[in-house]
Structure 1
Amino acid sequence: MKNAAPIRLVQITDCHLQADPAARARAGFPLRQLEAVVAAVNRERPGMVLVTGDISQDESAASYRLAEQALSRLDAPWFWLPGNHDQPALMAERRELPDALDLGNWRALLLNTRVSGRAGGELGEAALATLAERLAADDRPTLLVMHHPPLPVGSAWLDEIGLADGEAFWRVVAPHRQVRAVLFGHVHQAFHGVHALADGEVPAYGCPSTSDQFLPGSSSFALDEASRPGYRLIELRDGELETWVERVEA
């Protein structure tokens, strides 16, 4: 694992596209903003891009067509997973929904936390059992990637609609020290937290939306109108990672 070539990933999330390409969100135009983020990401020259859910706002087939068109302008392979606003069947009609990605000396496991009809997320017993099996079978440094945050982010209204079985998730993760980080969407803001384990801790990272931004630390829904769309860069090297957020004028 020593001296392996570094791997650069980018996370983008929460595009909230609608069937109408000119549709407006609360603070901007989601398709235009996504296109600006894609252009900025290309300048970073990543090896792979992860799109962590809420691709659509109106759950329409046309919104996924627009998303695929915009994301296909990326110069790197890209992969998506569903969020609470998404329709996985419509996503899969346009592009596969992988559950694992081989990153050479690393790997990423993509977890589906969507629950139909609910804003909050959950993995469920079967998915947690599968996660435990996959972690036991491969000790490469691992990223866990999902839509809903598995720990509180400090905004009361968001914490009510996070990952409902977060405690069970961390019990599964606890024995597996190869888990280096959790990446999630849903919160529309840059976030860094840690979950303490008996013999260490696992960092967890939220990502700005390509569309509207949420105000950190708010007790009820509030936009952060001073923030801009953005994305998260993740660099993997020698079993360790470095990550930071970049913002985009759009």
Structure 2
Amino acid sequence: MRLIQITDCHLYADPAARGRIGVPLRQLEAVVEAVNRERPDRVVVSGDISQDETAASYGLAERTLSRLDAPWCWLPGNHDRTDLMAERRALPAELDLGDWRALLLDTQVRGREGGELGAERLAALDVHLAGDDRPTLLIMHHPPLAIGTAWLDAIGLADAEAFWRLVAPHRQVRAVCFGHVHQAFEGAKLLAGRQVAVYGCPAASDQFLPGATTFALDEAARPGYRLLDLGPGTLETRVVRVAP
């Protein structure tokens, strides 16, 4: 099973609008074209679909992402309007990936850059995890641990400690994938004698500079995506960069 993560498209209603460096629509189109060459089975877009939170930007996103040669779905980021997303396409909570499954977590808190699951969503996650012992991938927008970029670490998942306490007894959780940080990241969380892999994904739009104390762009880094090959109990992953 080949799963690909795309994240942080930051589209505007105007297809020609520029982001901080490039044109988000052109960047996303290049990512979609490259992803199709990978022949994925599923694609997940992990938030910040829109920059201006307009219905037109989500229409543009849906038309562009529908060029993918695989089923795709999305989940919200801090910039998104979940009501406008849901008008276009459902926001599933779970994906059946054969030997694996993925749970898609909504970490958005309207009006805040940082994220939080909160008691209700944590309780729902616990129920979902208890219902299936297949190897499980958790996908969310906000990072559940520090990535070493100070200004981004300040706007990560506010209740990360509660999240990890909940995940700890569920040994089928093998990895967590997130967006939000506009850069590649690989780390791990030690839980109850095992390691859970944690992966960040480059943005489909402009990139942030790793290790920066305050906001900074990585003008040399290209847009990209994360590829995950899921086998019976195995996970292999790599980041792919794209020339927009």
Same fold (TM > 0.5): yes
What's the counterpart of residue 182 of structure 2? Answer: 188
Deviations 1:189-209 (A, max 9, x none): 000011111211101100000
What's the counterpart of residue 230 of structure 1? Answer: 224
What's the counterpart of residue 158 of structure 2? Answer: 164
Structure 1 unaligned residues grouped into runs of 5+:
1-6
Deviations 1:15-56 (A, max 9, x none): 000010000001100000000100000000000001000000
Cα displacement (A) at 1:82: 0.2
SS in structure 2 at match of 1:201: strand
What's the counterpart of residue 31 of structure 2? Answer: 37
Equivalent AA in structure 2 for residue 50 of structure 1: V
Query: Aligned to 2:53, which of 34, 44, 59?
Result: 59
Q: Distance in 2 between matches of 1:156 and 1:229?
A: 22
Equivalent AA in structure 2 for residue 170 of structure 1: W
Query: Aligned to 1:244, which of 226, 238, 242?
Result: 238
Q: How many residue pairs align between the two structures?
A: 244
Cα displacement (A) at 1:240: 1.4
What's the counterpart of residue 100 of structure 2? Answer: 106
1:132 matched to 2:126: yes
Deviations 1:164-188 (A, max 9, x none): 0000000010001100100100000
What's the counterpart of residue 203 of structure 2? Answer: 209
Of 198-207 and 34-43, the range deviating more from structure 2: 198-207
> Does the 8 Å CA contact 2:169/2:192 hold for their aligned counterparts?
no
- What percentage of aligned pairs have identical amino acids? 73
> Does the 8 Å CA contact 1:180/1:240 hold for their aligned counterparts?
no
- The two structures have a TM-score, normalised by structure 2, of 0.99
Query: Alignment RMSD, CA only?
Result: 0.5
Q: Distance in 2 between matches of 1:84 and 1:210?
A: 16
Q: Distance in 2 between matches of 1:136 and 1:70?
A: 36
Post-superposition, which runs of at least 4 consecutive aligned residues in structure 1 deviate over 4 A? none
